[in-house]
Amino acid sequence: MIEFQNVHKTYRVAGRDITALQPTNLRIEEGQVYGLIGHSGAGKSTLLRLINRLEASSGGRIIVDGEDVTAFDSQQLRGFRQRVGMIFQHFNLLSSKTVADNVALPLKLAGKLSGRELDQRVAELLARVGLQDHAKKYPAQLSGGQKQRVGIARALATQPKILLCDEATSALDPQTTASVLQLLAEINRELNLTIVLITHEMDVIRRVCDQVAVMDAGVIVEQGPVADVFLHPQHSTTKRFVQEAEHVDEGEQRDDFAHVPGRIVRLTFQGDATYAPLLGLVARETGVDYSILAGRIDRIKDTPYGQLTLAITGGDMDAAFARFTAADVHMEVLR
Ligand SMILES: Nc1ncnc2c1ncn2[C@@H]1O[C@H](COP(=O)(O)OP(=O)(O)O)[C@@H](O)[C@H]1O
Ligand SMILES: [Mg+2]
């Protein structure tokens, strides 16, 4: 659905060039929820705004739904933007218009629907985001979560194939974030909408995304399926985001484990393996003892996973390691 071929972007500010995006290649398949994570200034918004050409690229080709958007003239661009919806951190609603009028705005601009059809479409959109009883309110009378739902309804008004989300949950509390993410997941599933989502929280990626790219200083430093990147981060930036999500202080782990005897391994379980009674079984069979040093069981999108750090002592350790590896478990020896 979206392909970047050697795309880069440089801003010129007061006679100086600032490279926001180094030459980048990227593929986002139709129907995916694709996450972009990185610290402030990493180039996330720049990358996103290149997709719907809110920013013009400095070079390279951007193919969206089979068309080279870098070659569009202004009229083609107008039609194209109706096929790409966008939502923002601070919602960008018009405060002087009602909820219904905010959602109707892109439909009026497109000018394809009669008054009656338009009212009906707005009602459908508000129902989809759970705001059917708030049509006549003004933005100031809504909570943050409700405002973002208006933003989503407005973005969906022209039936886009792509939805771009720039820090759409960053101004919301955790519970509201969860409900907005759930709505995005629903929309992705039911409308087969391709979603590109920017965040600085790994937890947001973990809940809704299929794929993730980690950005640092205008470069994608790591990318892949969320389970791979989240459970086995390679780049130091990625590791820091994962630690943040798991509330682990840097340096905490290794120090604590210094006093613990035995070998230290980390086991990662995914899917059905998460609930298999493997540890007791292996301990009985091979005579090893284990203590759990750190652990977490959660879900990545719809798939359960568990990650346990164990100290293993006594028994036939090699046999135990072989049993772990043979089971549907990923094992890393940390020490
Ligand atoms: N319109 C602009 N003009 C000049 N510099 C910009 C502009 N937009 C972004 N930048 C610069 O580009 C870099 C990346 O910014 P941005 O894409 O907004 O990062 P992020 O969204 O990851 O925080 C930053 O150094 C920022 O200052
Ligand atoms: Mg940004």
CATH number of residue 41's parent domain: 3.40.50.300
Q: Are residues 171 and 285 in the same domain?
A: no
């292996």: which residue's tokens?
Answer: 282
Domain match, 204 and 291 both: no
Are residue 276 and residue 216 in the same domain, yes or no?
no
To test the ligand 1 pocket, which listed residue (9, 10, 18) has its Cβ within 8 A of the most ligand atoms?
Answer: 18
Model pLDDT, residue 249? 60
Q: Is residue 228 part of a domain?
A: no
Kindly state whether residue 22 falls inside one of the protein's structural domains.
yes
- Cα(90) to ligand 1 centroid in Å equals 17
CA distance 36 to 323: 37
Cα angle for residues 241, 22, 228 (degrees, 5° grid): 35
In a domain, 10, yes or no: yes
What mean pLDDT, rounded, does the chain reach?
94
Using 50, 70 and 90 to split pLDDT, how confident is the model at 254?
Answer: low
Question: Is the same domain home to 117 and 56?
Answer: yes
Residues 195, 46 within the same domain: yes
What is the residue range of 155's domain? 2-223
Please check whether residues 128 and 175 belong to one and the same domain.
Answer: yes
Nearest ligand 1 atom to the CA of 49 is 17
* R_g over Cα of the chain: 24
51 and 160 in one domain? yes
For residue 245, being part of any structural domain is answered with: no
40 close to ligand 1 (CB < 6 Angstrom) = yes
Q: Do residues 279 and 206 both lie within one domain?
A: no
The tens digit of pLDDT for each residue in 178-219 reads 999 999 999 999 999 999 999 999 999 999 999 999 999 999
Q: What pLDDT sits at residue 245?
A: 85
Per-residue model confidence (pLDDT) at position 61: 97
The band of 273, judged by pLDDT with boundaries at 50, 70 and 90, is: confident
State mean pLDDT over 9-24.
Answer: 96
Residue finishing a domain among 223, 246, 271: 223
281 — pLDDT class (breaks 50, 70, 90):
very high
How much distance in Å is there from the Cα of 234 to the middle of ligand 2? 24
Q: What is the pLDDT of residue 255?
A: 60
Q: Are residues 287 and 188 in the same domain?
A: no
